[in-house]
Amino acid sequence: MYIMDVKYLEKLEFNIVCKKLEEFAKTYIGRDICLNLMPLESKKDIIKALKHTTEASTLIYRKGNIPLDEIENILPHIKKLNASATLSIKELLDLAHILKVSRVLKEYFSSEEIDMSEFTNLQDLFEHLYTNIGIENKVFSKLIDENTVDDNASSELKNIRRNLRNKEQEIRNKLNSLLRTKYVQEAVITMRGGRFVIPVKNEYRGEVKGFIHDMSSSGSTVFIEPTSVFDLNNDLNNLKNDENIEIQKILTSLSAQFFELTDSMQNSLNLIGIIDFIFAKAKYSNSLDAVEPVINDEKIIELKGAWHPLIDKNSAVKNDIVLGKDFSNLIITGPNTGGKTVSLKTVGLLVLMAMSGLHIPAREGSTVYVFDKVFADIGDEQSIADSLSTFSSHITTIANILKEATSKSLVLLDELGSGTDPVQGSCLAVSILEELNAREVLNISTTHYPELKHYALVNDNFENASVEFNIDTLSPTYKLLIGVPR
């Protein structure tokens, strides 16, 4: 992965694309990978990442969306397991859910109807998901929800709970007989401090022998545990203690099932996140009707019918853009709001997307090169704090670009030389272009200066382009015309 200057990525709106991509992810891991996506450095890694996206896109078309929803972060649970600690009910259910998700994902990927040999790049990811149907079923059969252990989790727990119900009913039967007397405030059996009590009118508190646990806020009612149920309440609480001890034994036994599986569980957690990320790329691609670009070694950019991914695909103007074949420097001219900057951003953004393993909004056959860096000077970076004018800020940015740019870089400059005297600005712009050309850097620049159009006409390795303007409607069409200066 490149350590590419984030400011250039943001100028090209790559961060916004990552946020769009994140919307298609289902898990916290997948979303995190989407938001932190960066271009890859190796052609091999880029091609593999693009194949992941292509295969996932094909699978979605053939089998529907991947069966995946949010998962819990089990890393704290794994840490406890590594210390041989007993997990809570919820923590055990979280682990079992990871096992279930892994199993369901494997089932999704395995199909007798589809030749899975078409999906060799995804196969390794799915195959390494850890599944254990025995432990999965054991947890889900014994634990109903994060607060409840099933009666049948053990024969001992089943007996204890049967005795609990019987004991509770015996207490209620005894108390019901007292509820029919004139002493009670209301014919209701309630609990205080984990013991069954009845509400007695304060004036009759001496008539009901027992222990007073509480009093109403008005003082008119006292809550008494009659002596007739005192021993029964003790028996009930002893049974509850036995229940808690037995539940702890069950949780300890279930936790022990995972002691040797921590590495496998953590690996599956990571794989689920990666798979989620890959299918988020595929879903994003499908939403754009995007295609897998060809990665070339010839330092060529050829985008066919390309459009900016943040513009609605149904209204966006599709443009053919070529750089690196017959010329390495493209000078785009045209009126303001005519689409020059959008064309510039489209090239840079689609290159970054391709290098990040994302499909690009263009036609089949589009191809890009793996650049070592992508630089962009777009927009106004005037800084009050640093006392920089618009022109100075552009010059500072371009100076930094020239320090780093190599023959394997892509440089995108918007309104080159603007913000100062036109004569000085155009001369400076020509000098910058000459330096980039001498270094064999691929470059696209937009400008208003006619001098740059003339320079491109008479110098090899340069080409003019313009954004089309409809004379009849006096409005731009946003169509890029390469070879046509304006």
Provide the CB-side half-sphere exposure for 442 (13 A, CA): 24
Structure tokens at 175: 């108390």
Could you say which of 1.10.1420.10, 1.10.10.60, 2.40.50.100, 3.20.20.70 is the CATH number of the domain covering 6-149+258-286? 1.10.1420.10
Burial of residue 179 (CB within 10 Å: 0-12, 13-18, 19+) is: middle
Give CA–CA dist 160/164, Å, rounded: 6
Count Cα atoms within 13 angstroms, Cβ side, for 251. Answer: 21
**Residue 345 is inside which H or E element, if any?**
helix 340-355
Angle at 255 between CA 249 and CA 259, to 5 degrees: 135
What is the structure's pLDDT at 386?
A: 44
For residue 125, give the amino acid letter.
Answer: L
How confident is the model at residue 430, as a pLDDT?
93
State phi, psi for 189 to the nearest 5 degrees. -95, 130
DSSP states along 320-334? EEEESSS-SEEEEE-
| pLDDT at residue number 387 | 40
Tokens of 73: 């972060």
DSSP for residue 228: G
- Distance, CA of 181 to CA of 191 (rounded, Å): 19
Q: Are 324 and 369 in contact (CB under 8 A)?
A: yes
Q: How many CA atoms lie within 13 A of 326 on its CB side?
A: 8
Nearest CA among 319, 367, 370, 357 for reference residue 57: 357
**For the chain, what are the domain ranges?**
6-149+258-286, 155-234, 291-482
Helices (H), 64-154: 75-82, 89-109, 120-127, 133-142
CATH number of the 291-482 domain? 3.40.50.300
Euclidean distance between CA atoms 28 and 33, whole angstroms? 9
| CA 327/CA 304 separation, integer angstroms | 17
Return d(Cα 287, Cα 359) in angstroms, integer: 11
Is 179 in contact with 228 (CB distance < 8 Å)? no
Compute the distance between CA of residue 222 and CA of residue 352 in angstroms, rounded to an integer.
75
Q: Any idea what DSSP says for residue 439?
A: T
Q: Mean pLDDT per segment of 10 residues, for the chain of length 486 residues?
A: 78 96 98 97 96 96 93 97 97 98 94 79 94 98 96 97 96 88 86 92 88 90 92 95 97 97 98 98 97 97 96 91 95 79 94 98 97 88 48 85 95 84 85 95 92 91 87 71 83
For the chain, report the end-to-end CA distance as a whole number of angstroms: 40
Q: How many CB atoms within 10 Å of residue 180?
A: 9
Question: Is pTM, for the whole model, over 0.85?
Answer: yes
Q: What is the DSSP letter of 200?
A: E
> What are the start-end ranges of the E strands in 251-405?
294-296, 301-306, 319-323, 329-333, 367-369, 374-377
The Cα angle at residue 133 between residues 128 and 138, in degrees rounded to 5? 140
Instruction: Give me the long-range contacts of 138-145 (CB less than 8 A, separation at least 24).
Output: 138/254, 138/257, 139/92, 139/93, 139/95, 139/96, 139/99, 139/254, 139/257, 140/93, 140/96, 140/100, 142/250, 142/254, 143/89, 143/92, 143/93, 143/96, 143/254, 145/89, 145/93
Residue 472's pLDDT is what? 66
User: Distance between CA atoms of 408 and 324, rounded to whole angstroms?
Assistant: 11
Fold match, 6-149+258-286 / 291-482: no
Q: Chain centroid to CA 389: how far?
A: 38
**Per-residue b or e along 208-230, where b marks 16 or more CB atoms closer than 10 Å to that residue's CB:** bebeebeeeeeeebbbbbbeebe
H-assigned helices in 153-208: 155-179
Hey, which residues does 321 pair with through a beta bridge? 303
